Amino acid sequence: MSNPHDPERVETIVEKAEYVETCLEILAANQSVTRESFRENPETRDVVERRFEKASQACIDVARMLVRDLDGNAPGSNAATMRRLGGLDVLTDDTAESMAEAAMFRNILAHEYGDVLDQDIVYDALQDLGRYRDFLVEVYGYLDELGAL
């Protein structure tokens, strides 16, 4: 398989992936907070919500770059872009669907706040960071298979 990604693109993808890893470390450090404490502590909620939003956006950016290089352009929605990575065999179908949900979650975080945002949804997401880890492993695996890393 030839590498359709130029070295600068790969470097940008790796930088964004490393940023996601940093966000995941911060999120993981907050996993031990109880649901009640999470609801009651606006600073913790702010950190968690913002890191989820930023990690999700970085994953979306990576997905859009990969799909553009492979297909010429990315679908109109972020969720569709993630699903397209599944169709291109960069991600497994399960990870693609899970990351499509993460893309929709990012939109909720970006556009809702305060009392409108369901804190239980955010807390539940905090307890399961696996989809982001799976995304990173599969993207790195794809790039490695191409010999791009």
pLDDT at res. 81: 97
> For 1-16, what is the mean pLDDT?
91
CA dist 110 and 136 (Å) reads: 22
Average pLDDT of span 13-35 = 97
Mean pLDDT of the chain: 93
The owner of tokens 């699903």 is 83
Q: Could you tell me if 105 and 20 are in contact, meaning their C-beta atoms sit under 8 angstroms apart?
A: no
pLDDT higher than 80, residue 24:
yes
Is pTM beyond 0.85? Reply is yes
Structural tokens at position 5: 């990604």
Show the tokens assigned to 90.
Answer: 């960069």
List domains and CATH numbers for the chain.
7-146 (1.20.120.580)
Instruction: Supply the pLDDT for residue 110.
Output: 83
DSSP class of 74: -
Question: DSSP for 100-118?
Answer: HHHHHHHHHHHH--GGGS-
pLDDT in tens, 76-101: 999 999 999 999 999 999 999 999 99
Query: Which amino acid would we find at residue 70?
Result: L
Would you give the distance in Å from CA 69 to the centre of its chain? 19
pLDDT digits (tens, 9 = 90+) for 129-139: 999 999 999 99
**How big is the chain by its Cα radius of gyration, in Å?**
16
